[in-house]
Structure 1
């Protein structure tokens, strides 16, 4: 099971160092078997800790698809390599809302693929697409041009209408979408969208679900630990 945590714009170096220490102590005693954690902290927190457990890794929430250059305000591959970052989040709805269209998402994916990075590709529909029953067609358009056979690809289904609302999609909806995606790729499939300790056990039992992408429920370390524990209940 993959537990991916998107901190968004939360945590400083100091707070993440404390977080990582507590999480590391818990994880060292946890019966994790094939489980792993991927944490996507803010860029500024990369050097805030040393994660010793190989089953806890850091990823970048965003990057510009270049090694370096005249890209004011952007983080490029050379900066990520300094911290040993080789996992990236691509296509998150909050990035798309800022103007990252499918073409740019594909460019980021291709760059990451060339670097042999692990890519967590986010796909998901808004409430209008959902209500019109066009979700599968919409997701197919988001996947167009993506190498779905890339061996380091992970796909996270995040219905925009569920993110941050406290209400995850119904199990039958998640099952339907993950089934659809499983026919397109053999990549691990995650669900994200108001995942918490109350619903994670249900979500992780859905066929084809290989894990979760967690937002606000991961920002406090005890909340994230409780969520991981609840997944095994």
Structure 2
């Protein structure tokens, strides 16, 4: 399973280093074999050569250049970062990134061999317009994206659930993950108000290969608990297969 933390615009560099070290010690002590990704704020990016993969929440599709307020590959290379989050709902709906811009970003970092976590999802108004309209909306977010890219991870995030404390029903998550699995064989994560109290239930659902966690992952102890839940669940599944 893949357990990913999007720290958004939170934690200083010092706090991020402390966070990473706490999670790293937990992973090592508890023999966590899940893939663990952490996406710090841009100013808190660090070189971290251990079990956790540190990724960028965003970067411009250029090596470097006159792109005020952005970072490019040159800045990521300094920290040996080869993982990036693309298409998060806040980039789409708050920063106004278009599908065309996201495709350019995707293709640029794909050519560099990055592990790409590509986000798709719908706002509440689209969800309330009916299932078919919702799937049409999400399908357009796949346009121009190489769904067969070997280093692709897809994250489904119902926009209305992010940070709201609300989540779709387990049946809804299973249904949409089943449909999205027909679009790509890449691992498919669920994101949207995932927290310590529901992470095990979410991870146990058919078609869910991991989670992308926002505010609930800001405390290292909580994120460690989620990693442990994934490990215990995988062990339980393996034991069932062997019995």
TM-score bracket relative to the smaller structure: over 0.9
Per-residue deviation, residues 88-147 of structure 1 (Å, max 9, x unmatched): 000001111211011111111111111110110000000011011222111111101111
User: Does 2:105 match 1:103?
Assistant: no
Residue pairs, 1:131-170, within 5 angstroms: 131-133=128-130, 134-170=133-169
Per-residue deviation, residues 36-75 of structure 1 (Å, max 9, x unmatched): 110000122123xx5343x311000000001111111110
**TM-score normalised to structure 1 length:** 0.95
CA contact (8 A) 1:197 1:228 kept: no
CA contact (8 A) 1:59 1:86 kept: yes
User: Does 2:113 match 1:119?
Assistant: no
- Partner residue, 2:241: none
Corresponding residue SS for 1:143: coil
Q: Aligned partners of 1:183, 1:205: CA distance in 2, in Å?
A: 20
User: Residue 185 of structure 1: CA displacement?
Assistant: 0.8
Residue pairs, 1:47-86, within 5 angstroms: 47=46, 51-53=48-50, 55-86=51-82
CA contact (8 A) 1:198 1:230 kept: no
CA RMSD in angstroms comes to: 1.2
> Which among 126, 129, 139 is matched to residue 126 of structure 2?
129
- Partner residue, 1:26: 26
Q: Aligned partners of 1:10, 1:171: CA distance in 2, in Å?
A: 29
Q: Aligned partners of 1:25, 1:149: CA distance in 2, in Å?
A: 34
Corresponding residue SS for 1:150: coil
CA contact (8 A) 2:54 2:83 kept: yes
- Partner residue, 2:239: none
Q: Aligned partners of 2:41, 2:216: CA distance in 1, in Å?
A: 16
- Partner residue, 2:84: 88
Give unpaired runs (5+ residues) of structure 2. 234-243
- Partner residue, 2:240: none
Residue pairs, 1:3-22, within 5 angstroms: 3-22=3-22
- Partner residue, 2:236: none
User: Residue 24 of structure 1: CA displacement?
Assistant: 1.1
User: Residue 199 of structure 1: CA displacement?
Assistant: 0.8
Q: Aligned partners of 1:71, 1:223: CA distance in 2, in Å?
A: 36
Corresponding residue SS for 1:119: strand
Give unpaired runs (5+ residues) of structure 1. none
Corresponding residue SS for 1:94: helix
Q: Which runs of structure 1 show a deviation greater than 3 angstroms over 4 or more consecutive aligned residues?
A: none
